[in-house]
Structure formats: C-alpha cells, structure tokens
Amino acid sequence: MDEDVMLGFETSDDCAVYKLRDDLVAVLTLDFFTPVVDDPYEFGCIAASNALSDVFAMGVKPLAALNILAFPVALGTSVVAEVMRGGSDKVREAGAFIVGGHSIDDDEPKYGLAVFGTAHPDEILRNGGAVSGDVLYYSKPIGMGIMNSAFAAKMEDDQSMRPAIEAMMELNRYAAEAFEGLDVHACTDVTGFGLAGHLHEMLEPSKMAAILDWDNLPLFDGVYNYSAIGCRPGRSYDVQEWAEEFVRKGTLSEEEYNTRMGVLCDPQTSGGLLLALPPEQGPAYEAKFEELLGRKPARIGEVTDGPTGTIFIR
C-alpha cells in the first residue's frame, strides 16, 4: 500500500486518511442508507448527520461533501428535493458545503454523503489509544433501532418518536467541539454494531478492557422494556451473537443478560460519539458539552486493565 495512506480499510477507524504533506492530511468517508423515517426532509437530515459523524469522530472539521442519491423516478422531484434540502441544511450546519454528487434511478430509495476534510496528522483521533483509568462518555441517548422497531409495531406514535428523531438529526459537531483542547485518547461514533460492538472496536487496538455502569446508560424511554419483550431490530440478534464472545454475563440472570444485551447491541442510526479521556478532564468536557447542547454527556464507564476487548457490566 502507498506509504502516504495513513489509515485505510484494514482498521475499524471511521475514515480513510491520506497524507498530502508532512503537516496536512486528507480525511475521507462515505455513508448512505435507506429511509428510517417517513418525512423526506428529516430522512435527508439524518442520513447527512450520520455520514458527517465519521469525520467528527476523528476530531476533524468537514470541508466539502458530495451527495449520493438513489431514488425511483416514479416518486417525482418534490420528494427528492426535500431529501436533498435536509442533507444540505445539515452540511451547512456542519460548516461545510455540498459541491456535487451523483444520482441513479433505483426502486429502493437511498441517500447519503461522501465527506472530505483536512487536518494536521497530530490532530487525528483514532478508535484505539484508550488507557487504563480513562473515563468513557457517550453523547446521545441509546436505543434508536429499538425505538424504530417499536414504531413499526405501533407501540410508539409520531409524537412519542420525536426524541429519537431529533437525536438522529443532531450533528455530532457539538459533541466534538466540546472536547477540543482536551487529551482525548480514543473516539468513535456508534452506529450499526451498537454500543457494545463499537466499544469493543475501541478496546481491541487499545489492548484494554472496560467496565460499563448500566445505571448511567442514557436510554430512550421504553427501550429497556421493549428489549425485554423482544421488540428489537433483527440485526441486533446478529450483533448479540458476536458480542456474547466479549461482553461478560457476570452474576446476571440469563433473562436480564439478554435484555441488557438487546440494548447494548442495538444498531444506532446516526448515533453519538463514544470517547475515552483522562478522568481529571471529565468535568471540563461535561461543562463545555452542556454549554453547547444544553445537557450533559453520559459518563458510562471506565477503561481498565483486563482481557483485551472485554466488556464488564457493573
């Protein structure tokens, strides 16, 4: 591989990184998916926020983005226009610009972005690098996949889904701005592999384990109960089967363990940032986060010595 490729597909990091010169790297990512909400504008906002998150998770500011659009022609231009308006608004909020893109006729709608940013090589955050004693923070409520399943089962309505939709549309720009100037040792965004999977991907390259404080996890209302009755995305069961190799059951009953795993393995659409930083810097991060977002981030656990990649629930 070219020696200027600093990060590629061989790791689980959020973006590719290519060295342009000794003091400047290009940061690139892309993401797109099918609609998760009915409103086309909100779908555009969510898909764009999700794609931009990869750049924010690396501590980088996005500069430009390209639209990725697949829509059936039969839907007409008004729906597509609303999707792209949502995406454009979020890109603008992120401080970047839409500079083009590509579209195709496809029976199954899809939308997302390819995102480009630049940074000094020393400023890039990786998903590895956490050290024993670091505290773990998470920036959004957990349970977006479960909430969408509950909505599909008519257990939630348009009004009760608003907190989840607002969370999915929220840019991780502000969660990232809150840790500027702090010694963040590792950071990633939480998406399709759930909190357990993405935390594991942080711990493995760090050669660390972690303890999660269950009572401190920021769950949407109803998520625990929905998990208990099996109202979950089908993908979460695949994630759980994998995660059972590294999430310890401890003294939990089989029923309680399965319920908690349903939450920890819930795929998140446009999820929050998960980061590890020294405990003495926690108050500064919390204060800045609250200033920017009007709430505190959730302090969900700590990094510890132990079997590499293992997660213990406290």
Q: How do residues 105-151 score in pLDDT, each as one tens digit?
A: 999 999 999 999 999 988 899 889 999 999 999 999 999 999 999 99
> Residue 101: is its pLDDT beyond 80?
yes
At residue 15, the pLDDT reads 77
pLDDT at 88: 98
Q: Smallest Cα–Cα separation from 27: which of 1, 48, 51?
A: 51
Higher pLDDT: 10 or 270? It is: 270
Alpha carbon distance, N-terminus to C-terminus of the chain: 43
Closest by Cα among 124, 133, 127 to 277: 133
pLDDT in tens, 211-253: 999 999 999 999 999 999 999 999 999 999 999 999 999 999 9
The stretches of the chain forming alpha helices (DSSP H) are: 40-57, 77-93, 144-152, 162-169, 173-177, 194-206, 223-228, 234-243, 254-264, 282-293
pLDDT at 8: 57
**Domain 5-123 superfamily per CATH:** PurM-like, N-terminal domain (3.30.1330.10)
Closest to 46 in 3D by CA, of 154, 147, 180, 150: 147
Q: Which amino acid is at 106?
A: D
CA distance 10 to 16: 10
pLDDT band at residue 10, thresholds of 50, 70 and 90? low
Give one DSSP letter per residue of 283-312, joined into a string. HHHHHHHHHHHSSPPEEEEEEESSSTT-EE
Compare 84 and 2 and report the one with higher pLDDT: 84
CA angle 116, 120, 126 (to 5 degrees): 75
Q: What is the pLDDT of residue 2?
A: 73
Q: What is the mean pLDDT of the chain?
A: 94
pTM: 0.94
Longest dimension (CA), the chain: 56
Pairing, β 97-105 against β 16-21: unpaired
Q: Read off φ and ψ for residue 153, nearest 5 degrees.
A: -90, 5
**Start and end residues for every CATH 3.30.1330.10 domain found in the chain:** 5-123
Euclidean distance between CA atoms 281 and 179, whole angstroms: 9
Torsion of CA 13, 18, 19, 20, to 10 degrees: -150
pLDDT of residue 9: 58
| CATH 3.90.650.10 residue ranges for the chain | 135-313
Whether 183 shows a pLDDT value over 60: the answer reads: yes
Query: Would the pLDDT of 12 be above 80?
Result: no
Q: Residues with Cβ < 8 Å from 176, sequence gap 6 or more?
A: 56, 57, 59, 273
Mean pLDDT on 188-202: 96
* Residue 123 to residue 128: CA distance in whole angstroms: 14
Q: Report residue 73's pLDDT band, with 50, 70 and 90 as the boundaries.
A: confident
Check residue 31 and give its pLDDT: 94
The span from the CA of 179 to the CA of 177, in Å, is 5
Task: Tell me which architecture the domain covering 135-313 has in CATH.
Answer: Alpha-Beta Complex (3.90)
